[in-house]
Structure 1
Amino acid sequence: MKNRFIIDNKITNEFVEAYTKTLYRIIGENKHSSIKPCHWFEQRLMTGRKNRNCYKGIFGIQSHRCLQNTPSLPFCNQQCVFCWRDMEVGSLGNEFNVEADDPKLLLNEMLRHHQDIIKNHLPLRRYLDNYEIMIDILYFMLVDNNEIYNINSLNKKIHVSKSKIERAMILLKNQEFIRPTDNTNRNFKLDGDIKCCIGSREEVETLI
């Protein structure tokens, strides 16, 4: 059965464009390989937190050192629930039926594209903004005399938007640096261990 995405045993640009629109990188001359950094790669790389790791951490694989890739993007006889392929674009068949690229060249190209994504396409500025706001919030809570804080009270002291404060507080809560005081998850207090053991902004920066 002919497939409109394969002409003369070559994958067409139409198929490639369907994937590149969703941030995949198609690798190699014959376009059968791909990489795409996953959510956990970005989370672990940007936060440095051990708990920001995918299930492969059970096997000793650290997400920030993982390169999600396949040498056979269009050809698969499975429909796995957690597959990172674009299921809407679909598979081009069960059998690998195009000319294969040289494995060494593929590996070099995968590494080159991966490095380019890290350097030029990850939202570093957004994460650095979060980092600075997290430090400001935690240090303010440390030196202030109040016991309970929320977005509104912090917004009056830390002059950034409420949405940025909320995002930073979610990150602080997830790391258990601050704890909710009630079931609404709107009011927070500083974790007791931090309050008794951290005394300077430099120590807050090291902690975060």
Structure 2
Amino acid sequence: MDGAPLSAELAREVLTPQISSSERIGGLDALGLGLFLGDGGRIYGHSGSNEGFRCHLMAYRDTGQGAAVMTNGDSGSWVVEKAFVRIAEAHGWKDYPTELEERVVPDDAVMAGRVGTYRLRENLRFKVEQAAVGFPVTFDGQSPMPFRATAPDRLGARTADTELRFDDDGGVVFVQNGEEIRCRRE
């Protein structure tokens, strides 16, 4: 189409999965050129956040349906997820889940006991902290990664498909890509 911001060829390339990614809201599990994609590029979107806000955009390539949800709070991810479930239900988005697991709100005293430094490998440690929203986990030499409670004894990071499973004895099991590594607390 004349005057379109992208040529048809470039638009197809943008919506072609280039690499796999961890799953995001709405089943977006691959990266195109600048967008997260799901179902082979049939669904596309992108999330964003900074201190004080969370947002997500998702659209269907073939039907033209889509939505953008923005919140003005650090806890907005839960609101965004709930909003998309309701939007999908109200507008008949095909294949979009209309059920959402209830948010896990862990006991503060229990979670305070999980805070600390753990050894993943001989030369690699990570630190679990408790923040106003979520649990930043910092691996040696890396920026903090946002984790959230998925159960009273588990933290998960959607962006890295990683889970930390806490034991009653103070240890933690690091789970990623099907591998489980028992970590000791320092």
Task: Give TM-score scaled by structure 2 length.
Answer: 0.24
Higher strand share: 2
Q: Which has the higher contact order (CA 8 A, sep 6+)?
A: 1
**Is the radius of gyration larger for structure 1 or structure 2?**
1
